Structure 1
């Protein structure tokens, strides 16, 4: 192997780790991608120390040699890492890898811990990339009091839904900014965690404009439990579902409708949750037609009397006649 002066140090460590695999001295390789690594995780089997280490911008990479194995661990940004082991047998490679990966665990997830995938497109016309994370999400009962009575009943029904209750494939939460739509979606992910895999699409404006990206997200990645439904969350989709969406967005709206009620969505247990600040009267009629939506819920500001109760004031002197959004109430509470 030859290395030029411009070869990154991670590449040097990788090459050294792969040398016994390439030569056949350690012909069995196993690797793992870890998306959430504890900052103090060694990524080494217990009792093992690294033989070579390299640090760049706070990211540590290292190489370690054992009697019949070689391990390389590469930390990346955002707390992710790759660990690869070469060994004289497959069982030994798996044993060493499991011991190293075990050090990355951040502990037993709590009741509010929910795995969520974050999708984004990579490159022009490229496939989507999914980055899984475990998030601490609120149960519905913990935040139920933050929503107006006009929305609570519908939200109660949505939170309690199970696969046998699914009729439409679209969930639409609409209302002014600051009313708690995103928090409601987070609670939904918590309430559905047992039967539904939740994915958040970070670039929804690209998703339905790029068939390749849409295909990769819809088909998803291989999952251990294929019996689970999938929920795609698309936030702030005003342009996609507005009354002029068909004219302005071209095929984007058609692909959305096809996913929720067409050939694309047939045979796929997929639900789509959209949030928008648009008034329902300004939404495209095809989006809200009967039978398409599992739920269409307006999340509006709390009326003045409910807002006063939430704030704990008797007369709501600080609240306007039109009521207050949840964001405004938190701001008023902080100012007290």
Structure 2
């Protein structure tokens, strides 16, 4: 924003705070009537002005209740508004904002790069704020059509403005195509997990542990696809921060306010430090918050499952994490036995030792046609 635009915005905010913001002919500081702010030139950030105007009723106490919804897929083009809405300001400045009012409520729609945004409602009572906010969010949310080989995954991370969730459609193979990637006992346990329905949930923690490159993340992608009819899947990119900051944790737990009562699966990858035996001493309250989310007060009334991957061995994990009744599933995902690895490679090679899925993919990509395989152990890539 230019220097003149910044000063004008500050004057506007000061006018709101001082209660000079009636929507009639009341003047702002400097004597400028509200009507003149509808046709601002490029020296003023018009999106910011829409935001300030929207805050008037909340700042003055006429509409003391607010409801906000974060949208990771905001529609382009014309936006439908809730019934009874009257648009007062609309701004296009790279970003886009609409400020509208209805009977006893105000609405701000703000779409920003790269297509995400907010729907915020202030109202005279909390029920109206919540109802109109959810309706507005539903009207402007972009519908993502899922292909059979993809699953919608939300990626949460903390930002200066709070928790942000960006949705992407990622490739996820059907479990039937992946079963051969796991040893027989592991495949049997994973298959039982894939077949679960909402009514079968008994325990809120899914723990996949084992060496790197054994297919833990691949299994979770397939799980998201298998469960997508009854469970949304989100991946938290900064799990340590999630469990160390109560405000961030609460935002993620509460979700995006769409009124969607489906189950949610939160994926926390590589959480070794949070759940190993000495975690209570090294991770502070993080472990306690994790346990509280799975079967404590924080998780009460929330249809939330937490999936954790770790490279730690089971006997090194904190006993509170693996105690009976807490885990919906506790699966050690290891390497394929030598005979299973040979079958995975097509049966033409002799394999002298167990091999991880990452090692097998590496051999298939670069060492096809070799006879006896005696590759040195490798961490490979995380699968």
Paired position in structure 1 for 2:375:
none
Aligned-partner Cα distance in 2 for 1:10–1:170: 53
Aligned-partner Cα distance in 1 for 2:356–2:186: 13
Q: In the alignment, does 2:366 pair up with 1:331?
A: no
Paired position in structure 1 for 2:82:
none
Paired position in structure 1 for 2:232:
197
CA RMSD of aligned residues (A): 3.8
| Cα distance change on mapping 1:197 and 1:74 into 2, 3 Å | closer
Paired position in structure 2 for 1:153:
188
Q: How does 1:235-274 map to 2 (within 5 A)?
A: 235-274=269-308
Identify which of 229, 242, 256 aligns with 2:263: 229
**With structure 1 as the length reference, what TM-score do the two structures score?**
0.71
Paired position in structure 1 for 2:333:
299
Aligned-partner Cα distance in 2 for 1:11–1:143: 56
Segments of 5+ residues of structure 1 without an aligned counterpart are 22-31, 46-51, 55-59, 64-71, 84-96
Paired position in structure 2 for 1:113:
150
Contact 1:36/1:133 (8 A) holds in 2:
no
Contact 1:171/1:294 (8 A) holds in 2:
yes
| Cα distance change on mapping 1:246 and 1:312 into 2, 3 Å | same
Segments of 5+ residues of structure 2 without an aligned counterpart are 10-40, 55-68, 80-90, 98-108, 120-135, 369-383
Kindly provide the CA deviation profile for residues 132-162 of structure 1, in whole angstroms up to 9, marking residues without a partner as x: 2233322211211111112011001100011
Kindly provide the CA deviation profile for residues 75-130 of structure 1, in whole angstroms up to 9, marking residues without a partner as x: 624x65799xxxxxxxxxxxxx9xxx79x878x4312332221111123xx63222
How many residues get paired? 284
Paired position in structure 2 for 1:174:
209
Partner SS for 2:320: coil
| Cα distance change on mapping 1:262 and 1:80 into 2, 3 Å | closer
Partner SS for 2:299: coil
Q: How does 1:1-336 map to 2 (within 5 A)?
A: 4=4, 12=45, 14=47, 35=72, 43=77, 76-77=113-114, 80=116, 108-123=145-160, 127-226=162-261, 228-316=262-350, 319-321=351-353, 323-335=354-366, 336=368
Aligned-partner Cα distance in 2 for 1:183–1:9: 49
Aligned-partner Cα distance in 2 for 1:262–1:153: 30
1:301 deviation in Å?
0.7
**With structure 2 as the length reference, what TM-score do the two structures score?**
0.63
Work out which of the two has the higher radius of gyration on C-alpha atoms and give 1 or 2: 2
Aligned-partner Cα distance in 2 for 1:73–1:221: 15
Kindly provide the CA deviation profile for residues 220-241 of structure 1, in whole angstroms up to 9, marking residues without a partner as x: 2212432x11111100000011
Partner SS for 2:348: coil
Partner SS for 1:208: helix
| Cα distance change on mapping 1:167 and 1:73 into 2, 3 Å | closer
| Cα distance change on mapping 1:198 and 1:324 into 2, 3 Å | same
